[in-house]
């Protein structure tokens, strides 16, 4: 069990863009420690309020270091993500860009499967090209025909039914 957990964490940290790489013995241990808070956090907004009052800036996270989830067959799923979405091992280097962090109400229909509590959103450069590539591989992709202020979206599921959203951000306005 310990080896499977370590292997899953290592595979997923590599597959989803970990900014750090730990040895085999350290990875599972680090994940266990990181999940256990050492103190009760202050009330929401206290750090920002107190930081401004003290003349210091609040320390912030700099990005997502990994995305971890359970899988029935982690090896096969990691290969699927690599073959179809280009998330390569041993480490996936992401392009710079914004990352949405948005908790939704439990009753939200945005995460299409009510049995799932999460959905991963991947930025893509060309949504139509990515959708065509996935469809050519026999993967069902639903491209939203509407364009939104943030860009265009498509939805699919990995082989274990986990929801995936593809996002092509709008091109930044050029100054001219």
Chain-centre distance of CA 45, in angstroms? Answer: 25
Per-residue pLDDT of the chain (176 residues; tens, 9 = 90+): 444 444 444 444 444 444 333 433 433 433 433 444 455 655 655 555 555 556 678 877 777 777 878 889 999 999 999 999 998 776 778 888 888 888 888 888 888 777 888 889 999 999 999 999 999 999 999 999 999 998 999 999 999 999 999 999 998 766 66
121 CB burial (10 A radius; 0-12, 13-18, 19+) = middle
Residue 49's pLDDT is what? 53
3-state secondary structure of 139: coil
Domain-by-domain residue ranges, the chain? Answer: 1-90, 95-176
Residue 18's pLDDT is what? 41
| pTM above threshold 0.75 | no
Residue 140's pLDDT is what? 97
Residue 58's pLDDT is what? 80
Q: Which parts of 16-66 fold into alpha helices (H)?
A: 24-34, 46-54
Side-chain-facing half-sphere of 37: CA atoms under 13 Å: 4
User: CATH for 95-176?
Assistant: 3.10.180.10
3-state secondary structure of 6: helix
| Spatial contact of 134 and 122, defined as CB atoms under 8 Å apart | no
User: Residue 24 and residue 40: Cα distance in Å, rounded?
Assistant: 30
Residue 94's pLDDT is what? 81
Phi, psi of 112 (to 5 degrees): -55, -35
Q: Write the CB contacts of 117 (distance below 8 Å, at least 6 apart in sequence).
A: 111
């Amino acid at each position: 069990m310990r080896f499977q957990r370590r292997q899953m964490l290592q595979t997923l940290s590599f597959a989803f863009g970990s900014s750090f790489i730990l040895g085999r013995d350290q990875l599972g241990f680090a994940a266990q420690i990181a999940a256990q808070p050492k103190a009760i956090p202050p009330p929401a907004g206290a750090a920002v309020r107190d930081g401004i009052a003290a003349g210091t800036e609040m320390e912030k996270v700099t990005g997502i270091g990994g995305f971890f989830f359970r899988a029935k067959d982690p090896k096969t799923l990691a290969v699927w993500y690599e073959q179809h979405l280009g998330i390569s091992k041993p480490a996936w280097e992401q392009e710079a860009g914004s990352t949405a962090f948005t908790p939704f109400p439990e009753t939200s229909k945005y995460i299409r499967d009510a049995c799932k509590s999460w959905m991963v959103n991947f930025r893509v450069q060309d949504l139509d090209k990515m959708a065509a590539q996935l469809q050519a591989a026999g993967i069902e992709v639903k491209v939203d025909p509407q364009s939104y202020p943030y860009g265009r979206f498509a939805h699919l599921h990995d082989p274990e039914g986990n929801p995936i959203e593809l996002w092509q951000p709008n091109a930044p306005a050029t100054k001219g």
